[in-house]
Chain A
Amino acid sequence: MTPPTPTLQAGDTVPDGTFRYIPYTEDPQRHSQSLDITEDLKGKKVVLFSVPGAFTPTCHVNHLPPYLQHYDDFKAKGVDIIAVVAANDPFVMSGWGRFEGVKDKILCLSDPEAEWSGKIGLALDMSQLHFGIRTARYAIIIDDLVITYIATEPGPGVTVTGAEALLAEL
């Protein structure tokens, strides 16, 4: 599958949009909330990385864990929010976060039907695999709503969208 090319680049403002998520609490909550990109990410330094699916092999083992392990390094570089996004629903994203032990360190966001990701050209149609529309494997650094870094993985595996690559860009 050819990776998609983002329609935005460093220097552009991120499009508006909403993600759903369940904020981390000791006991699982019953309802999801909205994160409004323009309102909630304004003035913040955000690292957002996207995976095609929660619990899928590369994402589960190779992509998310290094972000958790490097949490302090990200914080030392002034990052306010680290978030992982996928097209799975907010309950699955929350469950995955619990499974990975992220607690409140990484926001696990749901981009239903990869709608927002599609606005930047980064949705993948995986219907032939019965997975529906998914988010591509990408990573973005956003500073006060402006993109300072955006990359998609050129092939299977994690390189330019991984924690270490992002840390080097901060």
Chain B
Amino acid sequence: MAALVKRVSPGWHLYNNWNFTMARFIQKGNFRRKKRTLTSQRVFLLATEEIVIAPPKPPKDISCTKYKAASNMYKEEVPNPYFEFRNKLCKEFLEKDESFLICHRNPVTASAVYDYRMKLKQKGFRLVFGMTNTLLRKNIPGTKFEALAPYLVSHNVLITSSNGSDFRSLPALLRKMPEFILLGGYVDGMLLSRDNLMKYSKLPDLDTCRSETAGILSLIAGGKTSSLIYSHAQTLGANLKQYEKQIKEESD
């Protein structure tokens, strides 16, 4: 009861001090009960404290499930033959210079993954699950794939082509697979984002482009353009002025 009254009463904190209460009945030296430090002592300790810049920590934008694995990148590695074997496979995969796409993988059932795999196989593509983000992040720096690092963060899946098939048909295929979301990739020696891939898929074939260029070149040799160019100077000038007006109107 007395202890309760003491604590509740005002000014308790001023008198709850070992220096006030425990001046007597100390048989052995006061090395066990630590004395309250004065403000001057506390200021002095803070001023003489060691200032050290801590070593770098892994970035926080990585998802919490993979934080532990990513933090191991900043520690010394113990040689593990299984990891070295997988590292070797990853390096060979990157050195092959094959085109591949990176897709984000939402939660999927195994039966759905099997169906998607069969559909892709029919079109000549291959799903790859073994190349994890930690492996790729370690082997990418210093290579041309360095810009793909922001895509290697969450649960991912790689799509490669087994027969050298065309990647322009993939965006249409991936619309039937709602759990796989396209992020980007490396196609025909170019690093492409999602928007660039969609544009790339809309480009025409090489054969159609060749036929178009051949038609344009043939027009120059004979046809309307040659008759316009070789006409009288006055008619040429009038035609060019009209053409200039047309272009301005289109740009406006």
Asked if A and B bind, the verdict is: no
Interface residues, chain A, CB within 8 Å of chain B? none
